[in-house]
Amino acid sequence: MIDLSKLAEPGSIEESLLEKIDLKRLPRHIAIIMDGNGRWAKSRHLPRVEGHRAGITSVREAVETAARLELPVITLYAFSVENWKRPRYEIATLMMLLKEYLRKELASLMSNNIRFVPIGRVDGLDPSVVRELRYAEEQTSRNTGLLFQIALNYGGRAEIVDTVNRIMALLREREMSDAVIDESFFADHLYTANVDDPDLLIRTSGEMRVSNFLLWQIAYAEIHVNKVLWPDFRRRHLFEAIVDFQSRDRRFGGVEENDSEMFIEADENHA
């Protein structure tokens, strides 16, 4: 049972937003492109890395909120394969902050029954980072609540290419090199095998692009872009995104039921 008292103070903005949310129609998987840390720091005349440091509070709040809403999955985009183009000092600080976050947060992930899984070319990260990531993954592997995926050294195209290579190796091994595969077999070999696709994709800082995130999985995700910079992203912004999500008419390429009857009538008239 969702405990509403843990999600909003009486009389708060969060409470009024929560009243607009239909708890029976929550998204099952929210994916977030956390963007705007650098601009947040710049606007305060601080070095970019201070934006990353401040963004950790937003990570904590987003994950905790997802757990309290009893969402099945949240995926956060933390470091892309393209982010290696950034200055060395910025990358080193990001990795240091990640290790610090994992060490500090493990106890709370455990007490909130959260399962932590890194996705991406994880083994391409510094060995000291990989060790911490694998440790947190292993420690939380038997938790049964929220699945918290963090995308690190992640690229959507890299994932698709890695999947193709994995499948080719598998088919070679089974001596089935001429097999024809289908979408569901392909999806079962992505980094996110066995995880439902995101139904809500959020991007902060107002940028209207996908930046190589979960390209396969977001085929039918609803997209919500908020101008707020990631370090300022709070529970109320997540609630706003869910309210927006619930206002959407998701058709998946079909038509609404009422409209489809109109089509049948039109067809009959035509015949």
Catalytic residues: 35, 83
Question: Could you tell me the smallest distance in angstroms from the CB atom of residue 36 to ligand IPE?
Answer: 4
Q: Which amino acid does the sequence have at 17?
A: L
* Cβ nearer to Mg ion, comparing 44 with 251: 44
34 binds ligand IPE (CB under 6 A): yes
3-state helix/strand/coil string of the chain: CCCHHHCCCCCCHHHHHHHHCCHHHCCCEEEEECCCHHHHHHHCCCCHHHHHHHHHHHHHHHHHHHHHCCCCEEEEEEEEHHHHHCCHHHHHHHHHHHHHHHHHHHHHHHHCCCEEEEECCHHHCCHHHHHHHHHHHHHCCCCCCCEEEEEEEECHHHHHHHHHHHHHHHHHHCCCCCCCCCHHHHHCCCCCCCCCCCCEEEECCCCCCCCCCCCCCCCCCEEEECCCCHHHCCHHHHHHHHHHHHCCCCCCCCCCHHHHHHHHHHHHHHC
Residue 211 binds which of ligand IPE, Mg ion, none (CB < 5-8 A, kind-dependent)? ligand IPE
* Cβ nearer to ligand IPE, comparing 70 with 100: 100
Question: Could you tell me the smallest distance in angstroms from the CB atom of residue 178 to ligand IPE?
Answer: 38
149 binds ligand IPE (CB under 6 A): no
Q: Which residues bind Mg ion (CB under 5 A)?
A: 35
Question: Could you tell me the smallest distance in angstroms from the CB atom of residue 39 to Mg ion?
Answer: 8
Q: What is the CA radius of gyration of the chain?
A: 21
Compute how many residues bind ligand IPE; rule: CB under 6 A: 18
CA angle 179, 159, 39 (to 5 degrees): 165
* Cβ nearer to ligand IPE, comparing 65 with 75: 75
Question: Could you tell me the smallest distance in angstroms from the CB atom of residue 98 to ligand IPE?
Answer: 10
Tokens of 223: 């997209």
38 binds ligand IPE (CB under 6 A): yes
211 binds ligand IPE (CB under 6 A): yes
99 binds ligand IPE (CB under 6 A): no
User: Measured between alpha carbons, how far is 60 from 162 in angstroms, rounded to an integer?
Assistant: 30
163 binds ligand IPE (CB under 6 A): no
Question: Could you tell me the smallest distance in angstroms from the CB atom of residue 256 to ligand IPE?
Answer: 34
39 binds ligand IPE (CB under 6 A): yes
83 binds ligand IPE (CB under 6 A): yes
* Cβ nearer to ligand IPE, comparing 112 with 224: 224
Residue 140 binds which of Mg ion, ligand IPE, none (CB < 5-8 A, kind-dependent)? none
150 binds ligand IPE (CB under 6 A): no
CA dihedral 190, 193, 197, 202 (to 10 degrees): -70
79 binds ligand IPE (CB under 6 A): yes
Binding site for ligand IPE (CB under 6 A): 33-39, 77-80, 83, 94, 205, 207, 209, 211, 230
